[in-house]
């Protein structure tokens, strides 16, 4: 078990524990037991995985006396939307660096952008090239806020930091209790599958699985970049986690796998077959995924299962990490599918 005393300070924002639901029809179709951990239920406006990390990051921001959090992401970033809304609940303001091809002509106010705007976040539009040098822009904006008498706290991309990783260590401790309710004390080996977008969720799951001592295999399906890119990020988070909390009983880099090959047309770009998989799951189970993260990871999981039904063992827990608001800005891409 992962003792609660080990956890860093947090602000309680997420609606947890989230339910673990059996997907009976999907399981029959795939020929393997599939359950969904409904992290899209962490909140309505806060829906998804990011709020689990933000509980720890915003507690740290407050402890450090910050009044404004700065973070970054793609134009329709779920992480930025969750940060903007969670910051309000934690009594803080937010500034978002959002990536778009032409900052002079930012995208329409829809989906997550609408929520960012409703939340009153300051938005700074930046190009993909500027995004690559975002650390400098973070510093520039922090200095500017300082000049206005404010104190900024920088949250790196996706909240995927060593502190944010605790969010998914916590999710594993929840999952162990969920599995005990199903199996009693003799837990079946379980493979957890999630979308990997900036690495923090996968790192937290891997650390949590190792700390729990339970037979949980962690598989991330990357939705951008490639396996090597994420292995470097995740290993680094795990290494620094062990250095920062040597008493947390995570030792060495915990095992995890990244299944590469499902980025498709690129980050936030969908192929018709991915969108069809999202539609089919709605029609089968009444569960809605998002096109950018969970839909791609789910498509990848099904493709792997089609090649080898046993690839993930007897039981799969797919983590539904949210992202629903990302569906609406691409509604017209579904036109021929629905
Ligand atoms: C809905 C959703 N699922 C999964 C992820 C991936 O999580 P992580 O960034 O921790 O790899 C993200 C964010 O990147 C997300 O917004």
Domains of the chain (ranges plus CATH)?
4-45+161-334 (3.40.50.1100), 50-159 (3.40.50.1100)
Tell me how crowded residue 19 is: count the other CB atoms within 10 A of its CB: 12
Q: Please give the residue that has the higher pLDDT: either 248 or 133.
A: 133
Q: What is the pLDDT of residue 249?
A: 82
DSSP state of 328: G
Least reliable range by pLDDT among 137-146, 157-166, 242-251, 315-324: 242-251
Residue 77 annotated as catalytic: yes
Q: For 13, what's the count of Cα atoms within 13 Å in the CB-facing half-sphere? A: 30
Residue with the smallest CA separation from ligand 1 atom 16 is 78
Cis peptide leading into residue 186 (ω within 30°): no
pLDDT band per the 50, 70, 90 thresholds, residue 98: very high
Q: What is the mean pLDDT of the chain?
A: 97
Pocket test for ligand 1, best of 155, 162, 198 (most atoms within 8 A of CB): 198
| Cα–Cα distance measured from residue 63 to residue 235, given in angstroms and rounded to the nearest whole number | 27
> Which residue carries 């004390």 as its tokens?
185
Pocket lining: 196 vs ligand 1, CB cutoff 6 Å: yes
Kindly tell me if the per-residue pLDDT of 81 is higher than 90: yes
| Percentage of the chain modeled with pLDDT above 90 | 96
Pocket lining: 93 vs ligand 1, CB cutoff 6 Å: no
| Cα–Cα distance measured from residue 35 to residue 20, given in angstroms and rounded to the nearest whole number | 7
Backbone phi, psi, residue 178, to 5°:
-60, -45
Q: For 109, what's the count of Cα atoms within 13 Å in the CB-facing half-sphere? A: 8
CA 49 to centroid of ligand 1, rounded, Å: 7
CA 21 to centroid of ligand 1, rounded, Å: 20
The two three-digit tokens of residue 3, written as one number? 């003792």
Kindly tell me if the per-residue pLDDT of 1 is higher than 80: no
CA 148 to centroid of ligand 1, rounded, Å: 32
Q: Under a CB-based contact definition with an 8 Å cutoff, are residues 12 and 55 in contact?
A: yes
Atom of ligand 1 nearest to the CA of 293: 3
Kindly tell me if the per-residue pLDDT of 109 is higher than 90: yes
What's the chain's Rg over C-alpha atoms? 19
Q: What is the pLDDT of residue 267?
A: 97
Kindly tell me if the per-residue pLDDT of 248 is higher than 90: no
> Rounded mean pLDDT of 278-297?
98
Determine which one of 27, 44, 47, 77 is catalytic. Answer: 77
> Rounded mean pLDDT of 202-215?
97
The region, left, alpha or beta by phi > 0 then psi within -120 to 50, assigned to residue 159 is: left
| Cα–Cα distance measured from residue 57 to residue 168, given in angstroms and rounded to the nearest whole number | 13
pLDDT band per the 50, 70, 90 thresholds, residue 251: confident
pLDDT band per the 50, 70, 90 thresholds, residue 185: very high
Which residues contact residue 281 at a Cβ distance below 8 angstroms, ignoring those fewer than 6 apart?
26, 287, 288, 289, 298
| Cα–Cα distance measured from residue 256 to residue 265, given in angstroms and rounded to the nearest whole number | 25
Which residues contact residue 201 at a Cβ distance below 8 angstroms, ignoring those fewer than 6 apart?
49, 160, 167, 168, 194, 195, 220, 319, 321
CA 207 to centroid of ligand 1, rounded, Å: 17
Q: How far is CA 103 from CA 72, 96, 124, 154, 268, in A?
A: 14, 13, 8, 22, 18
Kindly tell me if the per-residue pLDDT of 328 is higher than 90: yes
Digit-coded pLDDT (tens) for 9-48 = 999 999 999 999 999 999 999 999 999 999 999 999 999 9
| Cα–Cα distance measured from residue 71 to residue 124, given in angstroms and rounded to the nearest whole number | 10
Atom of ligand 1 nearest to the CA of 73: 14
| Cα–Cα distance measured from residue 279 to residue 245, given in angstroms and rounded to the nearest whole number | 43
Q: Is the dihedral of CA 93, 97, 103, 105 positive or negative?
A: negative
CA 333 to centroid of ligand 1, rounded, Å: 22
pLDDT band per the 50, 70, 90 thresholds, residue 250: confident
Atom of ligand 1 nearest to the CA of 230: 11
> Rounded mean pLDDT of 315-337?
97
Kindly tell me if the per-residue pLDDT of 208 is higher than 80: yes
| Cα–Cα distance measured from residue 276 to residue 129, given in angstroms and rounded to the nearest whole number | 32
Atom of ligand 1 nearest to the CA of 77: 16
| Percentage of the chain modeled with pLDDT above 70 | 100
| Cα–Cα distance measured from residue 4 to residue 184, given in angstroms and rounded to the nearest whole number | 22
Q: What is the pLDDT of residue 3?
A: 82
Residue with the smallest CA separation from ligand 1 atom 13 is 197
Pocket lining: 167 vs ligand 1, CB cutoff 6 Å: no
> Which residue carries 């969108």 as its tokens?
275
Pocket lining: 294 vs ligand 1, CB cutoff 6 Å: yes
CA 149 to centroid of ligand 1, rounded, Å: 33
Pocket test for ligand 1, best of 321, 322, 327 (most atoms within 8 A of CB): 321
pLDDT band per the 50, 70, 90 thresholds, residue 145: very high
């Amino acid at each position: 078990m992962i003792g609660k005393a080990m956890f860093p300070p947090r602000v309680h924002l997420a609606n947890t524990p989230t339910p673990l639901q059996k997907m009976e029809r999907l399981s029959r179709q795939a020929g393997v037991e599939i359950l969904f951990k409904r992290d899209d239920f962490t909140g309505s406006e806060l829906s998804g995985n990011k709020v689990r990390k933000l509980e720890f990051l915003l507690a740290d921001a407050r402890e450090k006396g910050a009044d404004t959090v700065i973070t970054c992401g793609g134009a329709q970033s779920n992480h930025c939307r969750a940060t903007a809304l969670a910051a309000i609940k934690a009594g803080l303001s937010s500034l978002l660096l959002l990536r778009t091809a032409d900052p002079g002509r930012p995208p329409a106010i829809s989906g997550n952008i609408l929520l960012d705007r409703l939340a009153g976040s300051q938005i700074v539009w930046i190009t993909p090239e500027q995004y690559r040098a975002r650390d400098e822009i973070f510093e520039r904006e922090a200095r500017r806020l300082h000049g206005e008498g404010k104190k900024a706290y920088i949250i790196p991309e996706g909240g995927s930091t060593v502190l944010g990783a605790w969010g998914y260590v916590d999710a594993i401790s929840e999952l162990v209790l969920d599995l005990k309710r199903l199996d009693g004390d003799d837990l079946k080996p379980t493979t957890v599958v999630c979308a990997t977008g900036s690495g923090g969720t996968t790192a937290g799951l891997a650390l949590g699985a190792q700390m729990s001592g339970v037979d949980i295999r962690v598989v991330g399906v990357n939705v951008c970049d490639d396996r090597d890119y994420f292995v470097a990020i995740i290993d680094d988070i795990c290494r620094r986690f062990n250095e920062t909390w040597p008493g947390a009983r995570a030792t060495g880099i915990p095992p995890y796998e990244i299944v590469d090959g499902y980025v498709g047309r690129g980050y936030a770009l969908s192929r018709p077959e991915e969108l069809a998989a999202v539609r089919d799951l709605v029609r089968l189970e009444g569960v809605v995924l998002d096109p950018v993260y969970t839909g791609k990871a789910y498509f990848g999981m099904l493709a792997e299962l089609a090649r080898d039904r046993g690839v993930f063992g007897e039981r799969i827990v797919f983590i539904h990490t949210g992202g629903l608001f990302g569906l609406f800005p691409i509604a017209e891409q579904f036109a021929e599918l629905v």
